[in-house]
């Protein structure tokens, strides 16, 4: 995916939230980027400063958290960690994994003034 | 000046307890400056506060997508998001499909390309209405653009809207357009390892069409390997093989469309995992 347009979406959300929660500057944005989401974190970081320039979040820190990716193994019925979509189950070796988390693309916290 | 609360008293410690007489505004409770991380406060700089959220970054696109979806399913219209690399044969597949469906099923097309209306022109030559979206620098269609395109179409009950996405195996993966089903087209000239190299777009697809099957004798593409890879990233993906150019396998695709359309009209999401 192209992370610049995601940063523009983040800015839209910040503006909406500013009107709702009555703040004028954002100092820090914490996001959850799941390892199985279609996003490259470093590209997001690169686009963030550019897109936030001149806005209420100019100069804000971008904190990127990576929640773990997990899948349910349909063979041994255990919930196991995965790193990519076509991993095999680390417990039983089966390929029958159903992803249960790791696709998040969320804003979790703002530090505002 | 007290650097703790900014009052005029020269002494540092004049007892910052609950009975402190200064009104610093806000509530009746004492507002205690200097309680932040640095343990002090500089006049004129406010303390920050934290706001907890669970806001989906793609929330706006998803809201537009939901609106598109409701609008289409309300009329029993089957909308399909066709994704692939550039040059996989999407437009030829669409042209041949439309020739078969014109006059029997209400059909229309939303075309996405960076520039030109070449593809929309080819579609319109079949008699089917088409709206061309030029994304300019954009590398994928999004639900907002598709919503505007739907405004320009007649959208007849029980019809099919084909959305031909920008040729790109990466970016369209993350953008819900409001479609009922997503179809990924992989041509046999592209290599049978593509589902592993571009997993996101195959993981989100309901159907994979292996196109240009007439060229199989001339390439190293192994069909079973490609299907195996696709099923590894998406256990439920259905597979069809065809040559849009020769027409081989086109009947299987028309049957699939018929089944999907029937279920859409019955008001259910097509259960595309069913064989």
Q: Mind listing the pLDDT tens digit for each residue in B94-146?
A: 999 999 999 999 999 999 877 777 888 889 999 999 998 887 777 889 999 99
Classify the phi-psi angles of B202: left when phi > 0, otherwise alpha if psi is within -120 to 50, otherwise beta: alpha
Question: What ipTM is given for this predicted complex?
Answer: 0.87
CB atoms within 10 A of CB B138: 17
- A106–B60 CB contact, under 8 Å: no
Residue B272 — pLDDT band, cuts 50, 70, 90?
Answer: low
Interchain pair A112, B200: CB under 8 A: no
- Exposed (0-12), middle (13-18) or buried (19+): which is B28, by Cβ within 10 Å? exposed
Structure tokens at A4: 């610049």
Residue B244 clears pLDDT 80, i.e. is over it: yes
Each residue of A39-89: pLDDT tens digit?
Answer: 888 889 989 999 999 999 999 999 999 999 999 999 999 999 998 877 889
Q: What letter does residue B207 receive in the DSSP assignment?
A: E
Instruction: Name every chain A residue with its beta carbon within 8 A of the beta carbon of B226.
Output: none
For B12, the token pair is 């540092």
Q: Rounded to two decimals, what is the model's pTM?
A: 0.80
Of B51, B58, B199, the CB nearest to A105: B58
Structure tokens at A56: 């209420």
Cα angle for residues B238, B224, B215 (degrees, 5° grid): 95
Place of tokens 């009052």: B7
Q: Identify whether the C-beta of residue B127 lies closer than 8 Å to the C-beta of residue B106.
A: no
With helix as H, strand as E and coil as C, how does A11-63 read? HHHHHHHHHHHCCCCEEEEEEEECCCCCCCHHHHHHHHHHHHCCCCCCCCEEE
pLDDT tier at B8, thresholds 50, 70, 90: very low
CB B243 within 8 A of CB B211: yes
Distances (CA, A) of B111 to B150, B214, B239: 11, 26, 24
Cβ-defined contact of A110 to B171 (cutoff 8 Å): no
CA distances from B191 to B83, B172, B173, B223, B232 (A): 16, 20, 19, 10, 16
Q: Distance from A84 to chain B by nearest Cα, in Å? A: 9
What's the pLDDT score for residue B268? 57
Nearest CA distance, A11 vs chain B (angstrom): 10
A93 closest CA partner among A78, A111, A109:
A78
Nearest to A10 among B57, B229, B233 (CB): B57
A96: distance to nearest CA of chain B, Å? Answer: 8
Segment 49-108 of chain A within 8 Å of chain B by CB? 84-86, 95-96, 98, 105-108
- CB proximity B19 to A under 8 Å: no
Answer yes or no: are the C-beta atoms of A20 and A110 closer than 8 Å: no
pLDDT band at B15 (very low <50, low <70, confident <90, very high): very low
Q: What is the pLDDT of residue B136?
A: 75
Task: Say yes or no for a CB contact (<8 Å) between A110 and B51.
Answer: yes
Reading the block at residue B43, the tokens are 């006049």
What pLDDT does residue A49 have?
A: 92
Backbone phi, then psi, for B30, in 5-degree steps? -70, 135
Chain B window 152-211: which residues touch A at a Cβ cutoff of 8 Å? 170-171, 173-174, 196, 199-200, 203
- Out of A1, A9, A98, the one facing B170 most closely (by C-beta) is A1
A contacts of B56 (beta carbons < 8 Å)? 105-106
CB B109 within 8 A of CB B98: yes
| Chain B residues whose beta carbon lies within 8 Å of the beta carbon of residue A5 | 138
Residue A46 C-alpha, separation from nearest chain B C-alpha, in angstroms: 17
Instruction: Decide: helix, strand or coil at residue B250.
Output: helix
The answer to whether the CB atoms of A1 and B232 lie below 8 A apart is no
- How far apart are the C-alpha atoms of A81 and A68, rounded to whole Å? 7
Average pLDDT over residues B39-67: 82
- Give contacts of A 15-34 with B, CB under 8 A: 17, 21, 23, 27, 31
Q: What are phi and psi of B209, to 5 degrees?
A: -105, 120
Distance from CA of B50 to the nearest CA of A (A): 5
| Number of alpha carbons in the 13 Å side-chain half-sphere of residue A111 | 13
* Closest alpha carbon to B34 in B18, B23, B19, B45: B45
Across the beta sheet with B160-164, what order do the strands follow?
A: B130-134, B107-113, B160-164, B78-84, B181-187, B207-211, B238-241
Nearest to A112 among B48, B199, B233 (CB): B48
Q: What percent of chain B has pLDDT over 90?
A: 61
CA distance A13 to A28: 14
């Amino acid at each position: 995916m192209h992370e610049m347009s995601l940063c523009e979406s983040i800015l839209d959300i910040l503006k909406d939230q500013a009107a709702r929660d009555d703040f004028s500057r954002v100092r820090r944005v914490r996001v959850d980027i799941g390892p199985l989401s279609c996003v490259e974190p470093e590209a997001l970081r690169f686009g963030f400063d550019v897109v936030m320039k001149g806005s209420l979040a100019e100069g804000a820190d971008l904190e990127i958290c990576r929640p773990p990716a997990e899948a349910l193994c349909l063979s041994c019925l255990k919930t196991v960690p995965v790193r990519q979509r076509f991993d095999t189950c680390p417990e039983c070796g089966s390929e029958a994994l159903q992803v249960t988390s790791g696709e998040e693309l969320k804003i979790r916290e703002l530090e505002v003034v | 000046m007290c650097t703790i609360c900014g009052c005029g008293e020269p002494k540092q410690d004049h007892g910052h307890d609950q009975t402190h007489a200064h009104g610093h505004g806000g509530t009746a409770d004492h507002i205690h400056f200097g309680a932040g991380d640095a343990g002090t406060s500089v006049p004129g700089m406010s303390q920050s506060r934290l706001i907890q959220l669970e806001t989906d970054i793609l929330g706006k696109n998803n809201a537009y997508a939901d609106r598109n979806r409701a609008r289409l399913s309300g009329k029993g219209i089957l909308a399909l998001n066709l994704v692939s690399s550039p040059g996989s044969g999407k437009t030829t597949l669409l042209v041949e499909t439309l020739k078969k469906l014109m006059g029997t099923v209400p059909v229309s097309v939303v075309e996405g390309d960076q520039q030109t209306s070449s593809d929309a022109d080819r579609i319109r030559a079949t008699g089917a209405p088409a709206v061309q979206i030029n994304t300019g620098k954009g590398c994928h269609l999004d639900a907002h653009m598709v919503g505007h395109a739907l405004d320009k179409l007649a959208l007849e009950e029980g019809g099919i809207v084909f959305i031909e996405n920008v040729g790109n195996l990466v970016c369209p993966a993350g953008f819900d357009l409001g479609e009922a089903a997503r179809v990924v087209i992989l041509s046999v000239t592209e290599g049978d390892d593509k589902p592993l190299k571009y997993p996101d777009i195959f993981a989100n697809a309901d159907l994979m069409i292996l196109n240009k099957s007439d060229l199989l004798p001339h390439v190293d593409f192994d069909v079973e390997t490609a299907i195996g890879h696709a099923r590894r990233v998406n256990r439920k993906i259905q597979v069809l093989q065809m040559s849009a150019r020769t027409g081989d396998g086109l009947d299987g695709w028309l049957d699939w469309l018929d089944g999907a359309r029937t279920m859409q009209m019955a008001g259910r999401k097509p259960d595309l995992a069913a064989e």
